[in-house]
Amino acid sequence: MSTAAFVYRNPTQESRATRLALTVLAIGFVGLFLLLPLMSVFANALANGISGASAALSNSDTLSSVRLTLIVAAIAVPCNMAFGVAAAWVIAKFDFRGKSILSTLIDIPFSVSPVVSGLVYVLMFGLQGWLGPWLRDHDIRIIFALPGIVLATMFVTFPFVARELVPLMIDQGRDEEEAAVSLGASGFKTFLFVTLPNVKWGLLYGVLLCNARAMGEFGAVSVVSGHIRGLTNTMPLHIEVLYNDYSYAAAFAVASLLAMLALVTLVLKSFLEWRFADEIAATHRH
């Protein structure tokens, strides 16, 4: 018997050329369409040197737009976190009539154009809207003010947390909750000690995505904000204003600040995944 020159190959592995082509394609695509534009944002921001960029960032209108964006995110993200967890909990752990309708409703903000989302609030709270006259009589400002911007942001970012948690919670099933109840835990303690710890990584991921979108939302906020400089302009809106004013360097400086927030979010997520890898593995289905 001669020893034939067998080439052991992983049955799911493609030839070297195919692998190389696919890798180049993927890296090339990511580089060309994601990395290059991002780098050009930073490059343009520094067109007038670091002093130019820092001068643009310390402008009072710019600072107020940063402050507004942070305030909006600080209100909208915790609210959506609470709503998202509640929605995911009822959908995954309970049976009731209209469950599939609720599940579909949660996706509305993903399927509706952000401009429409903004218009909805103008139609409701604007001067010509349903509640407009009543609000004006009671001196309550929603449109062209902080409440409107927060509402529009919350609408657009609503699905992020729920969408992240629903499949995870469904996959984990109800066994552990049933065990907790049979051991004497109240509904609240079951949620706090069993349900929540099991989904905390999914929750964190959902919150990070929700936050990134809340800070970056343009369309819906643009409709309800009124673009009042230094007052109702969030960072994305302020970038547009600067750009239309031909203040390119300033626009790109604020844009790179916004992009940096997104990058920090991603780095944070990767760091947490790396730091707690063991625990994440343990909370997946055994």
Partner 1 sequence: MSLMIDCVAKKFERYPALRGVSLEVSKGAFLALLGPSGSGKTTLLRILGGLEFADLGQITFENQDWLSIPARERRAGFVFQHYALFRHMTVASNVAFGLEVRPRRTRPSRAEIRRRVDELLTLVQLEGYGDRYPSRLSGGQRQRVALARALAIEPRLLLLDEPFGALDAKVRKELRVWLRALHNRLGLTSIFVTHDQEEALDMADIVAVMNDGKIEQIGTPDELRHAPATPFVADFLNSGRSQTPDRPRLSVVNL
What is the C-alpha R_g of the chain?
A: 24
- Give the N- to C-terminal CA distance of the chain in Å, as an integer: 46
Q: Rule CB under 8 A: is residue 282 a binding residue for partner 1?
A: yes
* Closer Cβ to partner 1, 27 or 192, answer by number: 192
Q: Rule CB under 8 A: is residue 197 a binding residue for partner 1?
A: yes
The region of 56-64, 145-153, 231-239, 277-285 touching partner 1 under the rule CB under 8 A is 277-285
**Number of residues near partner 1 (by CB under 8 A):** 23
* Closer Cβ to partner 1, 48 or 283, answer by number: 283
180-189 residues labelled b (16+ CB within 10 A) or e (exposed): beeeebeeee
Q: Rule CB under 8 A: is residue 112 a binding residue for partner 1?
A: no
Query: Closest by alpha carbon to 85, among 150, 147, 158, 153?
Result: 158
Q: Rule CB under 8 A: is residue 179 a binding residue for partner 1?
A: yes
Please state the closest distance from residue 277 (CB atom) to partner 1, in A.
Answer: 13
Please state the closest distance from residue 183 (CB atom) to partner 1, in A.
Answer: 4
Q: Pick from 17, 175, 244, 246: which binds partner 1 (CB under 8 A)?
A: 175
Q: Rule CB under 8 A: is residue 191 a binding residue for partner 1?
A: no
Q: Rule CB under 8 A: is residue 286 a binding residue for partner 1?
A: yes
* Closer Cβ to partner 1, 262 or 280, answer by number: 280
Q: Which residues contact 83 (CB under 8 A, 6 or more apart)?
A: 158, 161, 162
Instruction: Kindly list the residues in this chain that would bind partner 1 in the complex (CB under 8 A).
Output: 175-176, 178-186, 189, 193-194, 197-198, 279, 281-286
